[in-house]
Structure 1
């Protein structure tokens, strides 16, 4: 799977599982060249997810929602590492995310 296909997969899965007000997906795989996960073919990504679905949830619960949405793509050969910033719309507006 190519890097652009992985980014598209992340976008699709998060869009299907969550009500998105904003989604940014950054491919940071190039920063991890030679890393064990990179050698296995998995990518490294950073996401900013702004969703009202996070209201009332703590950080761990929000991350679980994101990981659950991505599901089986969280394998070393697809997505090796995922850095998550998960905010409600109100938090994003006050944070200038």
Structure 2
């Protein structure tokens, strides 16, 4: 399964978001240090979910990383997050 689909599936299952947009920005970073030739390394996520309502920004980011899991996070070089409750 492509990384972008794994991100969508895991975040959807964990947070039941009202809005979720996951973008693969890897092409913009081709040739940069840490960017693999095959892409699937740089992603941007915009997510809106009630689950984030009482969380601080740090707690929201930690919750997303936990939902993605260490094995998936380890395969991602950069993850930009825009999170709101």
The runs of at least 4 consecutive aligned structure 1 residues that moved more than 3 Å come to: none
Query: Which residue of the partner structure matches residue 73 of structure 1?
Result: 72
**Match for residue 14 of structure 1?**
11
Equivalent pair of 2:35/2:77 in contact (CA under 8 Å): yes
Aligned positions, number: 83
What residue ranges of structure 2 are gaps of 5+ in the alignment? none
Instruction: From the two aligned structures, give the one with the greater helix fraction.
Output: 1
Aligned-residue CA RMSD in angstroms? 1.6
- Cα distance, 1:40 vs. partner? 7.0
Larger radius of gyration: 1
- After superposition, the C-alpha distances for 1:6-61 in whole angstroms (9 at most, x for unaligned) are 11000011011112111000110011111222137551000001000001111000
User: Taking structure 2 as the reference length, what is the TM-score of the superposition?
Assistant: 0.88
Secondary structure at the aligned position of 1:45 is classed as strand
Q: Secondary structure at the match of 2:68?
A: helix
Q: Which runs of 5+ in 1 are unaligned?
A: 89-97
